[in-house]
Structure 1
Amino acid sequence: MRYATLFWEYIKNYAKTRLTYRADFWIEVLSDLLFQGMNLIFILIVFQHTPSLGGWSEAEVVFVYGFFMIPYGLFSTFFGIWNFSERYIVKGEMDRVLTRPAHSLYQVLLENVDPPSLIGSLVGAIIMVMCWTQLDLPFHVWDLVIMALLVLGAVLIYAGLYTALSSISFFSDAPTGIVPLMYNIQNYGRYPVNIYNKVIRFVLTWLLPFAFVGVIPASYFLEKKTDDLSQLALLTPVMGLIVFSLGLFMWNHGVKRYRGAGS
């Protein structure tokens, strides 16, 4: 209950700040929409040159991209710690965080909450609905429950990987070069993994499981049997719990080793 109250107080402070600079808020929303729109246009251009991609039709790949946007938008809203090293380690703000009784990761996440990113999740849901109709997929009430579980698992995978990445800052104050690399790798998860060679497919499925944030869970609703993706889909929540637990373990271990910003 205390953490829920703390969350609400941070959201109110965020709203007060954004109401002061409303133009910045809408510019951020617009820029995010343009970025997502360019990614979608890229997919459409690809299918101008080929009728299918690894056995997947245009509507199916766009469906996967729509699913990919939902957990990514939620992750960006509540786990946007891209600049953790520079802000909290290099500039010493982690010292301030550790003087407070709430868990350090929870505080850092609340200080970087970004509600405009939820627009991306909304757009992704709209894309999925449109493709769902176009593909004439069956719909059942329990699909909504399964969707929620798959999205939650995908968000936890994102959160775990980037929490682990941020925790490296406790051991080295210059890990920022890894962030762009990880960001580029995650984008591979929005395409069918069977188009990659076996090594990349293994990495995206079991080492850096970004396939579980897009194509694998989306394949459950598409009923794709290629490489048994639809059978792996229900492992998404389990994978999410495992990856997030590892990320949280690394964070807590890093906090114990942290000795302050110094001079």
Structure 2
Amino acid sequence: MFYATLLWEYMKNYAKTRLTYRADFWLEVLSDLMFQGLNLIFILIVFQHTPTLGGWSEAEVVFVYGFFMVPYGIFTTFFNLWNFSERYIVKGEMDRVLTRPAHNLYQILLENIDPPSLIGSAVGLVIMGLSWSQLGLPFEVLDLVMLLVFVIGAVMIYAGLYTALTAISFYSDAPTGILPLMYNIQGYGRYPINIYNKAIRFLLTWLLPFAFVGVIPASYFLGRNEDGLSTLALYTPLVGAIVLVIGLTIWNRGIKRYRGAGS
């Protein structure tokens, strides 16, 4: 109840702030929609030059992109850690966080919460729905359950990876530039994995499992089982749990190394 109440209070404070600066809120929403729209337009342009991509049709790739947007929107809402090093390590705000009773990571996540990103998830669901209809896929109640399970698993993968990468700041005196690199790599997870060579497939599946946040779980609904993709999709929540535990372990160990901002 303590953590639930804390979340509610932070959400209220966020709403009050945004009501004061409404133009900033809508500009943020518009810029996010434009960014996602450009990614979708890029996919559509690719299919103007080829009928398929690795044996996947345009509607299937768009479906994968729609799924990709759903967990990503949830992740960016609650795990907005992009400026962690500069704000909490360089400027010393981590000292303030550690004096409070709630878990330090939970406080940081709430301080940087970004609800407008959920609009991206809503758009992703719309894209999935339109593609679902275009592809003529059968719909069952079980699909909604599996969608929820896959989305939770994908969010855990995002959370675990980026928590671990953010925690590198505790082990290095200089701000790390690895997050932008990971941001670019994650984009590969929204395309059919069979278009990459074996090394990249292995990287995206087992080392940095971004394929589990897009193409692999989406394959379950599309019935695509090349290389066992739709079967692998069932492991998404397990992969998510493992990655999240690893990320939290690295974070908690990093906290123990933190010695304050100094002078």
TM-score (norm 2): 0.99
In the TM superposition, what is the alpha-carbon distance from 1:82 to its structure 2 partner? 0.7
1:257 is aligned to 257
TM alignment of 1:1-263, pairs within 5 A: 1-263=1-263
**SS of residue in 2 equivalent to 1:100:** coil
Aligned amino acid, residue 126 of structure 2: I
Matched residues in 1 for 2:66 and 2:132: separation?
10
Deviations 1:199-226 (A, max 9, x none): 0000000000000000000000000021
**SS of residue in 2 equivalent to 1:137:** coil
Q: Tell me, yes or no, if the aligned pair for 1:72 and 1:155 is still in contact at 8 Å.
A: yes
Matched residues in 1 for 2:40 and 2:128: separation?
13
In the TM superposition, what is the alpha-carbon distance from 1:174 to its structure 2 partner? 2.7
Aligned amino acid, residue 207 of structure 1: L
Q: Tell me, yes or no, if the aligned pair for 2:168 and 2:176 is still in contact at 8 Å.
A: no
Q: Tell me, yes or no, if the aligned pair for 1:193 and 1:211 is still in contact at 8 Å.
A: yes
Q: Tell me, yes or no, if the aligned pair for 1:150 and 1:237 is still in contact at 8 Å.
A: yes
Deviations 1:160-207 (A, max 9, x none): 000001100001133431111100000000001100000000000000
Matched residues in 2 for 1:95 and 1:42: separation?
44
Listed as ranges, the gaps of 5+ residues in structure 1 are none
Deviations 1:57-114 (A, max 9, x none): 0000000000000000000000011110000000000000000010000000000000
**SS of residue in 1 equivalent to 2:52:** coil
Q: Tell me, yes or no, if the aligned pair for 2:86 and 2:175 is still in contact at 8 Å.
A: no
Percent of aligned pairs sharing the same letter: 78
Aligned amino acid, residue 157 of structure 1: I
Aligned amino acid, residue 11 of structure 1: M
Aligned amino acid, residue 249 of structure 1: T
Which aligned segments of 4 or more residues in structure 1 are displaced greater than 4 angstroms? none
Matched residues in 1 for 2:107 and 2:177: separation?
24
Number of residue pairs the alignment of both structures matches:
263
Matched residues in 1 for 2:119 and 2:49: separation?
30
Matched residues in 2 for 1:256 and 1:119: separation?
37
Q: Tell me, yes or no, if the aligned pair for 1:85 and 1:173 is still in contact at 8 Å.
A: no
Matched residues in 2 for 1:101 and 1:173: separation?
26
**SS of residue in 1 equivalent to 2:260:** coil
Aligned amino acid, residue 202 of structure 2: F
Matched residues in 1 for 2:74 and 2:176: separation?
22
Deviations 1:125-180 (A, max 9, x none): 00000000000001110111110000000000000000001100001133431111
Listed as ranges, the gaps of 5+ residues in structure 2 are none
Matched residues in 1 for 2:261 and 2:233: separation?
43
